[in-house]
Structure 1
Amino acid sequence: MAIQRDEEHIPLPVDVYERISAAAAALGTTLNEFVVSAAIEKADAVLDQETVIRLDGASSKILFDLLDNPPEPNDYMKAALEQRKRLLCK
């Protein structure tokens, strides 16, 4: 069996096809609607996991305190800023 969209096919073992078809039927959707919906949910979850930084309360307090009151640049930061200036701000 295969899920298809126009000329594209995704081959599936029969037991997987039947399982997905049963789930789609239970929700009253077509097989393609069910698969697309599930794929979008999974894609959103993956992208959220890869792009969102989550901090606990203590860590977020530290971050916001640093943003509100940044420390003076140390020698390493000063050197990095000078190098950036030389390389990028000609």
Structure 2
Amino acid sequence: MSEYRHGRVSRPRRPWYARALGIRHLYLSNVMCVLLFEGSVALAVLMALTELVSWWVVLILPLTVAAMVKLNDLVAGAQNRHG
């Protein structure tokens, strides 16, 4: 669904999670972004409520998941360049 606006073709906007992490080589759908971010927060909260882990995990787990997604994007970019 391309429309011309001010002489350019508009592209669908990427999810905010992918834009915030600066993902360039992976395609993350809206559902995948929700699962990655909100799922990691929900998992951390459930683990903290059951006292399996400290409450710091509620902050650390989503940041760790974001770092792994960014690392996966960097590896995919390196594979595209060399392969």
More strand by share: 1
Q: TM-score, normalised by structure 1?
A: 0.31
Greater RCO (Cα-Cα under 8 Å, separation 6 or more): 2
| Structure whose CA Rg is larger | 1
More helix by share: 1
